[in-house]
């Protein structure tokens, strides 16, 4: 399984990279390569040119302030996962990254790369959708920001144009009195999830639930975000409310059957995991525990 021939360039400046992308619509960006290289080796993708941005070291950063976390295009999953400031300000990043493949893959794969790969079975597209993140992209025409809600337009298809380079992922901070959690069921440890749920729960000063939002992996063609707040009108995380939230989830997801699981089972998992994850997020919202991630 060797790749078909491709031309290769390793730009030393961002402008050089953008110039190549502008000139060749069949060029592809190589950052982490953990998703792209297998596609090349299996000859499922045959780009004309590979634009290797690993030389643009100025894009390797994780910067955190009280507004959120900004993740550069060359920040590896491992860098984001281990970043203490990022963990403090937006714990859902590390909570989700721990579920992404295996540590060796995370040493090379980039978080932004995973987002723009736009696989609805992956963790990061669901997380950025839930958090309302934004992606900053650049091209020879200038720069623009794409909201997560507008980013995923189809299975493995995102709104970043062939002439554009995704530069930075901007993830908002987790609000005050807000807890996050994520869980998934996979066939083997580290596999793509059969179904996964990430949730964010905000509570009022009294600890009463105000908003509950969840996003789903592997149960739709593009990342699905559901507002579950209407199940928590009385503000409590009662079993009845969690069950009602689970029902919204099972009604809202649109999974498919494949060789690993039936649509019915995935739908069932969406409900089960919604209950578990919302409860965990609520627990963290009312009693924040910095070490609370699994």
Q: Which of 5, 66, 291, 294 binds another protein (CB under 8 A)?
A: 5
Would you count residue 212 as binding another protein (CB under 8 A)? no
- What's the closest the beta carbon of residue 235 comes to another protein, in angstroms? 25
Q: Which of 254, 264, 289, 290 binds another protein (CB under 8 A)?
A: 264
Q: Which of 21, 28, 29, 49 binds another protein (CB under 8 A)?
A: 49
Q: Which of 58, 85, 103, 145 binds another protein (CB under 8 A)?
A: 103
Q: Which of 63, 268, 283, 292 binds another protein (CB under 8 A)?
A: 268
Q: Which is nearer to another protein, 30 or 120 (CB)?
A: 30
Would you count residue 247 as binding another protein (CB under 8 A)? no
Would you count residue 16 as binding another protein (CB under 8 A)? yes
Q: Which is nearer to another protein, 103 or 154 (CB)?
A: 103
3-class SS letters over the chain: CCCCCCEEECCCCHHHHHHHHHHCCCEEEECCCCCHHHHHHCCCCCCCEEEEHHHCHHHCCEEEECCEEEEECCCEHHHHHHCHHHHHHCHHHHHHHCCCCCHHHHCCCEHHHHHHHCCCCCHHHHHHHHHCCEEEEEECCEEEEEEHHHHEEECCEECCCCCCEEEEEEEECCCCCEEEEEEEEECCCCCCEEEEEEEEEEECCCCCEEEEEEEEECCCCCCEEEECHHHHCCCCCCHHHHHHHHHHHHHHCCCCCCCCCCHHHHHHHHHHHHHHHHHHHHHHHHCCCCCCCC
Residues that bind another protein (CB under 8 A): 1-13, 15-16, 18-20, 23, 30, 33-34, 37-38, 40-43, 49-50, 52, 54, 78, 101-105, 107-108, 185, 187-192, 194, 259-262, 264-265, 268-269, 272
């Amino acid at each position: 399984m060797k790749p078909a021939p491709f031309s290769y360039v390793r730009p030393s400046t961002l402008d050089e990279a953008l110039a190549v992308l502008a000139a060749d619509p069949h060029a592809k960006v190589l950052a982490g390569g953990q998703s792209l290289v297998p596609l090349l080796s299996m000859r499922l993708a045959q780009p004309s040119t590979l634009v290797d941005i690993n030389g643009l070291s100025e894009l390797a950063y994780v910067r955190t302030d009280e507004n959120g976390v900004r993740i550069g295009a060359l920040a590896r999953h491992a860098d984001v996962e281990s970043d203490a400031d990022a963990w403090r300000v937006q714990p859902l990043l590390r909570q989700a990254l721990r579920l992404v493949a295996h540590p060796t893959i995370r040493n090379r794969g980039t978080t932004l790369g995973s987002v723009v790969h736009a696989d609805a079975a992956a963790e990061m597209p669901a997380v950025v959708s839930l958090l309302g993140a934004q992606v900053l992209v650049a091209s020879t025409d200038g720069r623009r920001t794409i909201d997560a809600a507008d980013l995923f337009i189809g299975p493995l298809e995102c709104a970043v144009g062939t002439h554009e380079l995704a530069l930075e992922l901007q993830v908002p901070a987790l609000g005050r009195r807000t807890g996050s959690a994520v869980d998934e069921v996979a066939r083997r440890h580290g596999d793509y999830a059969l179904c996964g749920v990430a949730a964010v729960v905000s509570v009022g000063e009294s600890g009463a639930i105000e908003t509950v939002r969840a996003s789903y992996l592997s149960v739709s063609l593009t990342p699905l975000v559901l507002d579950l707040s209407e199940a928590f009108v009385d503000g409590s995380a009662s079993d009845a409310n969690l069950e009602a939230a689970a029902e919204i989830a099972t009604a809202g997801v649109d999974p498919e059957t494949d060789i690993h699981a039936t649509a019915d089972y995935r739908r069932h998992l969406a409900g089960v995991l919604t209950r578990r994850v919302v409860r965990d997020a609520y627990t963290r919202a009312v009693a924040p525990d910095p070490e609370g991630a699994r």
